[in-house]
Amino acid sequence: MNATKNIRTLIASAAMVLGLGAAPALQAAGPAVALDRFPEGKLTDVAALQGGAKIYMNYCLGCHGISQVRYNKLRDIGLTEEQIKSNLILTQAKFGDPILSTIPLKDSKEWFGKTPPDLSLTARSRSSGAGTGADWIYTYLRGYYLDPSRPTGWNNTVYPAVGMPHVLWELQGQNRAEFKKVSSHGQGSEVFSRFVNEKPGSLNPAEYDNLVADLTAFLAWVADPVAQTRKQVGVWVLIFLALFMVFAWRLNASFWRDVK
Amino acid sequence: MAAEKQVQADGLLGWVDRRFPLISLYKTHLSEYYAPKNFNFWYFFGSLAMVVLGIQIITGIFLVMHYKPDASLNAAGIPVAFASVEYIMREVPFGWLIRYMHSTGASAFFVVVFLHMFRGLMYGSYREPRELIWIFGCMIFLCLMAEAFFGYLLPWGQMSYWGAQVIVNLFAAVPLIGPDLAIWIRGDFVVGDATLNRFFAFHVIAIPLVLVGLVAAHIIALHEVGSNNPDGVEIKAKKDANGIPLDGIPFHPYYTVHDIMGFAGFAILFAAVVFFAPEFGGYFLEYNNFIPADPLVTPPHIAPVWYFTPFYSMLRAVTDVFTWTFVAAALLGAYGFYRFKPFGQMGAYAGMAAMLVLAVLFRLLDAKFWGVAVMGGAVIILFFLPWLDKSPVKSIRYRPSWQKWLYGIFVVNFFVLGYLGVLPPTPVGQIVSQLGTIYYFGFFMLMPLWTPLGEFKPVPDRVIFQAH
């Protein structure tokens, strides 16, 4: 993910050199608030991934499927078939079935007006110039605040007018958001300033952040389960190609010695 | 009856060669194809384009084994086509590698082809007697754009869907038949399953077939007349007693080992992207394309993939007001026919009449249509390059220094247009892209006027080469 960010910076700075100050489109699509950085160490932390899976099955799967992943695939984050079957399959699903939302699509469409999206690829699709998709999820799940003007009573700093209520509110508690007035170019607008806790949840803020980070790590793995393998294979491929380059270079030199 | 063929080889090779011109093909195209010895860095990209074509075809075959061009929704409410790509990424052994090679290969193809074309532009490789090589090359480029466009719909993500929607809708701007034409292309009133299936057919059968044929024609034409080189000197003009060009070396082994080295360098960069940054910051795989296509949700900003953005910028540059520039250009063209009479007296009348009609049409028809025409024209104009360039020398090395600046600005301009094409439209961006469009077309259309001007450096008799 760092490599991706570097390339983006590189391309953006190349554009700056050309005298184009405007933010790239990929940035323009980003959210209104600056994203917090998801602790990326969690991506390779098996305990975090397993913890995230547990939270997902308990809090998210009721509405959101991750249909691109099968239950048996969870063995890749260090779980045994027994553990998965007895702890994580909370529906009638078989071990080899895709992880579908508990609520039938037709019902959720009828009840909510819109089927809650499948989250298989959210950690990739929410990437932007503002941060990785994981950064987005990590900030989003910590960005809920009370807003009586919304039908659910909840709003979100990352995703204004979000349809989903704060599912994890018992854990985080209830926050109020404070906004400050800023004016630029003679136009006044309100910008998010900070959260104020109204009612504490069962976890303290540090514990809640950690739980969200676990959940985010799981969703990042769900979106790109092959990412770690890919990088490991990549190192060997590059080492091989570097050696190949040396041979190709010497081979070329030995032939071209004749060309005068 | 034809005379008995002289075959030097015996055994299996002899048996084959009596029935198929194997040895003579090998000689004509490899061991006795004499290429100039002064090729530089820029000459890697022809062979690399072949390598990428190979990568795309081979990975493409394996992708087709698992991909399903089907817009209907599966049990989880995800379009089958979209889910099948994810299936390849997750469940097919090393499917992720095959898919990332194919998606990175698409961008790599344009990188090497842009560099390959720019090489031709710099060293005058399109000049007599290589006009047909250049024209085949331009046709390959057109095919490549079509191939990329059709292929981009297949993952059936939001950008696939809406990108196709935008581009197909452009055809609706064609006068009279436009709306019907757009429906005919889509096979539906919106981009849908019919569109997906026909684009799949074009992407995997029709266009690759044409592409491979054109590549063969490109190479046959090249080997007929011989390669140009950075000095733009004809090596066939100076031959030794055996009729071998003095500055020529057999393609095999000298350029085969050379191109293997080029391939190694390319492979390192290619693998670095495939394994460590396959999305390439959202430029190779757009982030929005990880959301399944939804005909009911239009993304706030629809940007084509980077390789189309210079042309997309030129399309967007054409506003109603901007068409006055075309009117001015047409009137200037009419004056040019009147003043210079490049095709005789009758030609001058015909040319002036055509220019005046064009000037009227520029204002009469919708600016959207002219935007589409400009986008297409930006590629079509390349076909005429061999006849637009009137320079007494081929290579940029011997052109006047100020002309090198024009080439330099052309490159920067192309990058700026590409960059602006990624951005949502802004007023400043619009003006810059309009100036960029004028420069792009001015560069080519005014070539007959500016290329013969200035102080040319003497072209050497033989190529410049320092032994390694």
Chain segment A21-57, per-residue pLDDT in tens? 333 333 334 457 899 999 999 999 999 999 999 999 9
Specify the pLDDT at position B49: 98
User: Structure tokens of A62?
Assistant: 């009721």
Partner-chain contact B290 A25, CB within 8 Å: no
Categorize the per-residue pLDDT at A19 as very low, low, confident or very high, splitting at 50, 70 and 90.
very low
Specify the pLDDT at position A14: 47
- In this model, does residue A18 exceed pLDDT 70? no
For B302, which residue in chain A has the nearest alpha carbon? A25
Specify the pLDDT at position A6: 53
What's A12's DSSP letter?
H
Measured between beta carbons, the chain B residues lying within 8 angstroms of A241 are: 264, 267-268, 271
What's the CA gap between B34 and B235, in Å, rounded?
9
Specify the pLDDT at position A24: 37
Q: Is A183 exposed, middle or buried, given 0-12, 13-18 or 19+ CB atoms closer than 10 A?
A: exposed
Specify the pLDDT at position B444: 97
Q: What would the DSSP string read from start to end of A118-151?
A: P-TTHHHHT-BTTB-HHHHHHHHTT-EEE-TTST
What's the CA gap between A62 and A104, in Å, rounded?
10
- State yes or no: ipTM above 0.85: yes
Partner-chain contact B254 A259, CB within 8 Å: yes
Single out the residue of B40, B217, B131 nearest to residue B389, CA to CA. Answer: B131
Measured between beta carbons, the chain A residues lying within 8 angstroms of B416 are: 18, 20
| Contact in structure between B158 and B289 (CB atoms under 8 Å) | yes
Chain segment A48-79, per-residue pLDDT in tens? 999 999 999 999 999 999 999 999 999 999 99
Q: What is the mean pLDDT of residues A147-172?
A: 94
Partner-chain contact A248 B263, CB within 8 Å: yes
Specify the pLDDT at position A10: 52
* Best residue of A18, A20, A64, A73 to probe chain B, by most B CBs closer than 10 Å: A20
What's the CA gap between B443 and B407, in Å, rounded?
9
How far B364 CA lies from chain A's nearest CA (Å)?
34
| Contact in structure between B90 and A98 (CB atoms under 8 Å) | no
**Mean pLDDT over all residues of chain A?**
88
Partner-chain contact B300 A29, CB within 8 Å: yes
| Contact in structure between B440 and B427 (CB atoms under 8 Å) | no
pTM for this structure? 0.92
> Would you give per-residue pLDDT tens digits along chain B (468 residues)?
455 667 778 899 999 999 999 999 999 999 999 999 999 999 999 999 999 999 999 999 999 999 999 999 999 999 999 999 999 999 999 999 999 999 999 999 999 999 999 999 999 999 999 999 999 999 999 999 999 999 999 999 999 999 999 999 989 988 899 999 999 999 999 999 999 999 999 999 999 999 999 999 999 999 999 999 999 999 999 999 999 999 999 999 999 999 999 999 999 999 999 999 999 999 999 999 999 999 999 998 888 999 999 999 999 999 999 999 999 999 999 998 888 888 888 889 999 999 999 999 999 998 999 999 999 999 999 999 999 999 999 999 999 999 999 999 999 999 999 999 999 999 999 999 999 999 999 999 999 999 999 999 999 999 999 886
